């Protein structure tokens, strides 16, 4: 089963991912900035302790000496958060007191201006260390000792964490609000779609009126338009079906009633000759009825909606038309009609559904043979015109008046005063089949001035390719 995705989940996932990455990057940056800030805040205090320590250095004839009582040391170096250490040097490499665990600074030039801060290790713990040359003799400020004070990072880390935590907390609240906004926004934004959904759901299957487009947002409009277009197509198909059922009922009622009446007459006859005569009449009527049924079914089979059922294949129009033409020879002969074939001379391919193409040609030749006067001439011609493949059937029958040339293609339309029987469906079927083949059909007066020329213009076949179905 295909996984169903909810727009809301997709949006949330695509929003939350980048936001969380952003939060991580931002937290790392905030941690770095906060650590800088914490250092800046506590370094000053560390330097103050170094200066204070320098006050406990006194000048003696043998050089500077550190006089730090335990009480003074405690006052200087005891902190409730961190452990501290102090070491004083009269010159690099010459310690005069303090914690021997504090190693000599790697680089402490005498002319350095102000204190220098760096991080280091003291008894396996990371520490922040200040290194500064400080005067110890008020009388001669140029006499200086090197003071080192180290402090573990406890309060610095705590301050940095507090800053990061407050930033991250604010950002988490923002992310939560963004998610809530997406949740609400998607629900709100999709409301028009749900409205369209319930408008369709509320409908009865007979209601094919278009959906309301007033107030429908631009994005949903194509969907509503497509649904409305589908309704129109459905409506047209339903109309066609209803029309067909009504036509069929109307067309079949009279001949069936006629058949019944003829059977009743035949049943009342005693004379075998008259019975045979009635049966012969019955046969003619049944055949006429069978023709009407066939034509009605052909009409239904070739409705414009049947396009999906059409199986186009490459057909040689020349050979196909010649074959059908020969099938009609006996019937033409019976009416002394000169049925001729005027071919292109070589195969002429079209894309066609053979059964339907046969119906089309049969109907046109049937009309030509049926409506031409006895001894007339009917010609079936196949030729190429540009890239169009033309099939034309010309006859010697009564010329169809110009004003009737479109109407003869309508269902059940027959010319007034026609002598022969017919249901008036043949040309309607022909034009339906032509449309299913993408062909157009024209009707002109035959070029010899008597009769008609029906011409079907077939498009060239499509080149073979994987896209064809
Ligand atoms: N070749 C033709 N020559 C003269 N009139 C024609 C010709 N073809 C068609 N018609 C006229 O057009 C009308 C419609 O033809 P169509 O083929 O649709 O119906 P039909 O021949 O009457 O009945 P069906 O073909 O269904 O048995 C015919 O009744 C006839 O009057
Ligand atoms: Mg006909």
294 alpha carbon, closest ligand: 1
Sheet harboring 84-91: ordered strands across? 94-98, 84-91, 144-152, 125-135, 116-122
Q: Same domain for 363 and 241?
A: no
The CB of 408 under 6 Å from ligand 1? The reply is: yes
The CB of 293 under 6 Å from ligand 1? The reply is: no
Q: Same domain for 441 and 325?
A: yes
Q: Same domain for 316 and 450?
A: yes
Ligand 1, atom 19, lies closest to the CA of 424
Counting atoms of ligand 1 from 1, which one is nearest the CA of 414?
29
Whether 190 is covered by a domain: the verdict is: no
Whether 230 is covered by a domain: the verdict is: yes
Q: Same domain for 292 and 379?
A: no
Write the DSSP assignment of 79-91 as a string of letters.
-SS--EEEEEEEE
Whether 194 is covered by a domain: the verdict is: no
The CB of 376 under 6 Å from ligand 1? The reply is: no
The CB of 373 under 6 Å from ligand 1? The reply is: no
Counting atoms of ligand 1 from 1, which one is nearest the CA of 399?
4
Query: Which of 366, 408, 443, 452, when mutated, tests ligand 1's pocket best, judged by the most ligand atoms within 8 Å of its CB?
Result: 408
pLDDT score at 353:
96
CA of 217 to the centre of ligand 1 (A): 53
CA of 262 to the centre of ligand 2 (A): 26
Nearest to 240 by CA among 305, 310, 295, 298: 305
SS3 313: strand
Whether 209 is covered by a domain: the verdict is: no
The CB of 405 under 6 Å from ligand 1? The reply is: no
Ligand 1, atom 20, lies closest to the CA of 424
Q: Same domain for 339 and 267?
A: no
* CATH code (residue 416): 3.30.565.10
Domain residues for 26? 7-161
User: What percent of the chain is helix, strand and coil (3-state, nearest 5)?
Assistant: 50, 20, 30
Q: Same domain for 363 and 443?
A: yes
Phi, psi values for residue 311, rounded to 5°: -105, 95
pLDDT score at 4:
63
pLDDT score at 19:
86
Last residue of one domain, picked from the residues 301, 321, 338: 301
Each residue's pLDDT expressed in tens, for the chain with a length of 469 residues: 456 667 778 877 888 888 889 889 988 999 999 999 999 989 999 999 999 999 999 988 888 988 888 898 888 888 888 999 999 998 888 899 889 998 888 877 877 778 999 999 999 999 999 999 999 888 888 889 999 999 999 999 999 999 999 988 998 898 889 888 888 888 888 888 888 888 888 888 888 888 888 888 888 889 899 999 999 988 888 887 888 888 888 888 988 999 999 999 989 989 999 999 999 999 999 998 999 999 999 998 998 877 888 999 999 999 999 999 999 999 999 999 999 999 999 999 999 999 999 999 999 999 999 999 999 999 999 999 999 999 999 998 899 999 999 999 998 888 887 667 788 999 999 999 999 999 999 999 988 778 999 999 999 998 876 654 4
The CB of 425 under 6 Å from ligand 1? The reply is: yes
pLDDT score at 137:
84
Whether 78 is covered by a domain: the verdict is: yes
With beta carbons less than 8 A apart as the criterion, state whether 359 and 456 touch.
no
* CATH code (residue 268): 1.10.287
H-state helical runs in 269-391? 272-301, 317-327, 329-334, 354-371
Q: Same domain for 27 and 153?
A: yes
407 alpha carbon, closest ligand: 1
CA of 366 to the centre of ligand 2 (A): 6
Q: Same domain for 28 and 150?
A: yes
Distance CA 311, CA 29 (A): 68
Ion ligand 2: residues, Cβ under 5 Å:
367, 426
CA of 283 to the centre of ligand 1 (A): 23
pLDDT score at 1:
46
Q: Same domain for 324 and 436?
A: yes
Last residue of one domain, picked from the residues 141, 161, 181: 161
Q: Same domain for 328 and 285?
A: no
CA of 397 to the centre of ligand 1 (A): 11
Distance CA 404, CA 183 (A): 66
**What domain count does the chain have?**
3
Query: Which of 287, 371, 404, when mutated, tests ligand 1's pocket best, judged by the most ligand atoms within 8 Å of its CB?
Result: 371
CA of 414 to the centre of ligand 1 (A): 6
């Amino acid at each position: 089963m295909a996984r169903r995705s909810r727009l809301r989940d997709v949006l949330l996932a695509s929003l939350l991912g980048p936001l969380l990455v952003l939060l991580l990057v931002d937290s790392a940056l905030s941690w770095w900035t906060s650590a800088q800030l914490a250092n800046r805040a506590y370094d000053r205090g560390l330097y103050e302790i170094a200066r204070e320590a320098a006050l406990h250095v006194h000048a003696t004839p043998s050089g500077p000496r550190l006089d730090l009582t335990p009480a003074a040391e405690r006052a200087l170096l005891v902190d409730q958060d961190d452990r501290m250490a102090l070491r004083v040097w009269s010159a690099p490499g010459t310690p005069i007191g303090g914690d021997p665990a504090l190693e000599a600074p790697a680089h402490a030039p005498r002319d350095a201006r102000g204190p220098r801060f760096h991080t280091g290790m003291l008894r396996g713990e990371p520490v922040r260390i200040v290194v500064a040359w400080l005067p110890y003799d008020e009388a001669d400020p140029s006499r200086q000792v090197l003071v080192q004070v180290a402090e573990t990072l406890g309060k610095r880390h705590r301050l940095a964490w507090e800053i990061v935590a407050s930033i991250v907390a604010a950002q988490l609240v923002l992310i939560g609000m963004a998610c809530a906004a997406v949740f609400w926004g998607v629900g709100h934004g999709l409301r028009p779609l749900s409205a369209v959904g319930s408008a369709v759901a509320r409908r009865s299957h007979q209601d094919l009126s278009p959906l309301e487009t007033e107030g429908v947002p631009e994005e949903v409009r194509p969907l509503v338009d497509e649904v409305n277009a589908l309704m129109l197509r459905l409506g047209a198909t339903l109309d066609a079906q209803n029309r067909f059922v009504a036509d069929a009922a109307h067309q079949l009622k009279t001949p069936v009633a006629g058949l019944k009446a003829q059977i009743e007459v035949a049943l009342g006859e005693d004379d075998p000759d008259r019975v045979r005569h009635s049966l012969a009449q019955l046969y003619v009527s049944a055949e006429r009825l069978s023709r009407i049924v066939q034509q009605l079914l052909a009409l239904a089979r070739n409705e414009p909606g049947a396009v999906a059922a059409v199986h186009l294949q490459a057909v040689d129009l020349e050979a196909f038309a010649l074959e059908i033409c020969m099938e009609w020879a006996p019937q033409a002969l019976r009416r002394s009609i000169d049925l001729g074939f005027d071919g292109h001379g070589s195969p002429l391919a079209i894309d066609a559904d053979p059964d339907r193409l046969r119906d089309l040609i049969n109907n046109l030749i049937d009309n030509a043979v049926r409506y031409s006067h006895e001894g007339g001439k009917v010609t079936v011609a196949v030729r190429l015109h540009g890239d169009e493949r033309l099939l034309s059937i010309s006859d010697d029958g009564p010329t169809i008046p110009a004003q009737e040339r479109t109407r003869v293609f309508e269902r059940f339309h027959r010319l007034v005063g026609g002598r022969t029987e017919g249901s008036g469906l043949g040309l309607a079927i022909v034009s339906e089949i032509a449309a299913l083949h993408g062909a157009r059909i024209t009707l002109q007066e035959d070029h010899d001035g008597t009769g008609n020329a029906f011409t079907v213009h077939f498009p060239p076949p499509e080149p073979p390719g994987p896209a064809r179905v």
